[in-house]
């Protein structure tokens, strides 16, 4: 295999940096989304432990469904 020339190495480095930046942006967006969901639950001030558990279960199901969708793709 031939050694990489400088332009190929620079392209790979730039591509890797863009990939890592996009990955970080996606992770931030993901965390912001789920934090917003948790903030909704917190601000709703559930009447009882049972209603809080129901809201948490619903959030957990949303996360599980999203994981399934991502695994299929």
pLDDT score of 2: 58
% of the chain surpassing 90 pLDDT: 70
Structural domain boundaries enclosing 33: 14-72
pLDDT score of 1: 54
Confidence of residue 6 (pLDDT cuts 50, 70, 90): confident
Q: Establish if 1 belongs to a structural domain.
A: no
pLDDT score of 37: 92
pLDDT, one tens digit per residue, over 36-55 is 999 998 898 878 899 999 99
User: Rounded to the nearest 10 degrees, how much is the dihedral formed by the CA atoms of 18, 22, 28, 29?
Assistant: 150
Q: Establish if 57 belongs to a structural domain.
A: yes
Q: How many domains does the chain have?
A: 1
pTM: 0.70
């Amino acid at each position: 295999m031939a050694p990489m020339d400088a332009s190929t190495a620079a392209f790979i480095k730039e591509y890797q940096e863009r990939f890592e930046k996009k990955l970080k942006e996606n992770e931030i967006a993901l965390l912001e989304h789920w934090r917003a969901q948790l903030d909704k639950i917190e601000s709703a001030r559930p009447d009882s432990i049972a209603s809080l558990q129901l809201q948490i279960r619903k959030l957990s199901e949303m996360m599980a469904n999203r994981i399934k969708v991502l695994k299929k793709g």
